[in-house]
Structure 1
Amino acid sequence: MKKRQWFILAGIAVLVILLSGSMFIVKEGEYKVVLKFGEAVRIEQSPGLKFKIPFIENVFTLPKHQMTYESNPTTMLTKDKKPIIVDNYTVWRITDPTSFNRTVKSVGVGIQRIDEAVYNSVRRKLAEVNFDAIISENTERGNINDEITKDVAEALKRDNYGIEIIDVRIKRTDLPESNKQSVYNRMISDRQSIAARYLSEGDEESRKVTSKADRAATEIIAQAEADAKKIVAEGEKEAARIYNESYGKDPEFYSLYRTLESYVTTLQNEPVIMLPIDSPYAKILLGK
């Protein structure tokens, strides 16, 4: 009886082992590659509980989500033979696990293939661009990044690695310590030259504007003075005409008016005036 129980327990144990060895779970964000005698026989992509032949089929996991690989800083030459230190990052993912398993088999080897393709592409692209354009122009670097991404994606697709390149970006471009200061000095000199040119052009433009304004002011003042003289002359002419016309109508009154005006001028500040008592000027003043 005991032997029978032991056989039953052993059978249950074997059954549990077989069942546990024949089941596996596929999670979100991963592929399960099923191997039979070392060869991939199928790829499980949809999440859930899956089955395999125990002891004959094995399973290993490949990531389905996007991954980021950062390269080590590397010295490269630009078109004008300037050495720069470049490091970049690559965003990628596995889109065809069958091809990936057949060609590279593991994520580590896949990263090696990506690193080689990125290095070759970055080296070629930087060799086509001058140093100043890389470090100074954001638009230029943006164009380089886009071209490198396209170049690397096409290279890996051509080799049928089952890898999709999402983006390749140059993070940093720096100078080697040996020639950093000389390049900085040249950049400072270039910027000072540009600033001096801008200042010279500004001074020249300022002189032109000032000269034009002075010339216009002189012309306006001259015209105003000419107009003023003309108006004064016309006023004096009109005043003389009015005086003459008034004098012609009543000479005695006009003579008296002019005499009274002279009194106003003469007697300002209460001066002492010596006049004969019988002079016409004194008589009018005295009211005789």
Structure 2
Amino acid sequence: MKAVLSNLSSIITGFLGGAFLCMLILLSSAFTVHEGQRAVIMRLGQLKTDLNSRPIICEPGLHFRIPFLESPYYIDIRQQIWIMDSDPIQTIDQLYLLVDFYFKWEVSDSAEFFRIHTAGGTRSWDAAKSNVEFLLKQRVKNAVLEEFGRRPLGRLVLEDRRDIMETFGAGLSNSLKDLAVKLVDLRLKKIELPDDVSEKVYNRMRTEREKSATMLRASGLEQSEKIRAQADFDVKMILSKVQSDALKMKGQVDAEIMKMYAEAFADQVAFYELMRSCEMTREVFQSPDNILIVRPEKVFPGIYKREHIQ
């Protein structure tokens, strides 16, 4: 009886030990990928691949591995933000600006990110992230320097910041593919002038405005003179035409009057001569200082005849 109990106890102990070992193996083979993460599996220092030789990427959820042979490497696929403060940047007109900007990035290819930045899995995620941000900082800064270096200060101040960043943000995103990351957003926080540059900029702006005002005044005076000269010319032309038309009309009227006189006095020549003599005499004697010395028979031949005078 004791032997049977001893054997049963050994069986139970072995079963419990085996169950505990199986549970331990099961627990050590299971791993969880959380939201915002992806995981790749390393097998003896190499990425585990599927039947098509593509790296296996573990999505969020519960997964299993072969204990002691395989180990997961977690990659954070959430957007990461990096802020750059007050970096001096030179414009095309040799002026320096203090530019604050930030960019957001995320992992675009987990397997490639693992190969490039983790040194075979020996580098932690934080270390890999720092390495990526260092490389991104250099490339983004160089891109910003190049883009700002092609623009004068005036355009940088007047243009929309979003338009400036979007102009070269798309090209910069393509240049980051070799890092297995994607540039999500790149924004300017502020653009400021250093104190020693501000006064130079203001003086130059003041000079340019004064020059522009002088040119506008000169142009206005020139236009004013042209308009005035044209107006004077038009007035003279109009007056000349009016005077010419008036003289023509006067000539026509005088001709009509003379014609009417001629027709009216055609049969009264002596009376016409008398009337003209009277009119001439009246015109001469309009002033009391005028003296007319003539022979009467020459002026009034119809009245002063020689026999009457005698």
TM over 0.5: yes
2:76 is aligned with what amino acid? Answer: L
Which residue number corresponds to residue 153 of structure 2?
132
Do the aligned partners of residues 199 and 35 (structure 1) sit closer, same or farther apart at CA in structure 2, a change above 3 Å counting? Answer: farther
Cα distance between partner residues in 2 of 1:171 and 1:197:
37
> Against the structure 1 CA distance between its residues 46 and 180, is the aligned structure 2 distance closer, same or farther, given a 3 Å change threshold?
same
Q: Does 1:179 align with 2:216?
A: no
Number of the residue aligned with 2:248 = 230
Compare CA radii of gyration and give the structure with the larger one: 2
TM-score, normalization: structure 1?
A: 0.63
Q: Structure 2: how far apart are the matches of 1:104 and 1:14?
A: 36
Match of 2:117 in 1: 104
Structure 1 residue 244: Cα displacement = 4.1
Judge conservation of contact 1:26–1:48 (CA < 8 Å) in 2: yes
- Report whether the alignment pairs 1:123 with 2:123: no
Q: Is the 8 A contact 1:26 1:45 kept in 2?
A: no
Contact 1:149 1:168 (8 Å CA) reproduced: no
Matched, 1:61 2:79: no
Q: 2:107 aligns with which of 69, 86, 94?
A: 94
Pairwise CA distance, 1:14: 6.4
Question: Equivalents in 2 of 1:216, 1:181: separation in Å?
Answer: 52
Question: Which of these residues, 88, 91, 97, is aligned with residue 75 of structure 1?
Answer: 88
Percent identity over the alignment is 24
Task: Quote the Cα distance in structure 1 between the aligned partners of 2:234 and 2:32.
Answer: 93
2:307 maps to which residue? Answer: none
Question: 1:96-148, CA deviations, whole angstroms, 9 ceiling, x for partnerless residues?
Answer: 2222122234434322211111223333554x546435535649x96786457
List runs of 5+ in structure 1 lacking aligned partners. Answer: 256-288
Where 2:85 maps in the other structure, the secondary structure is coil
Could you list the runs of 5+ residues in structure 2 that have no partner in the other structure?
A: 49-54, 119-127, 273-310
Is this contact kept in 2: 1:146–1:168, CA < 8 A? no
Q: If the length of structure 2 is used for normalisation, what is the TM-score?
A: 0.60
Could you report, residue by residue, the CA deviation over 1:132-170 in whole angstroms, capped at 9, with x for unpaired residues? 35535649x96786457636743x44xx32123466555
Q: 2:40 aligns with which of 27, 30, 33?
A: 33
CA distance in 2, matches of 1:39, 1:193: 70
What is the root-mean-square deviation of aligned Cα atoms in Å? 4.3
For these two proteins, the number of residue pairs brought into alignment is 243
Letter of the structure 2 residue corresponding to residue 205 of structure 1:
Q
Distance 1:54 1:232, change over 3 A: farther
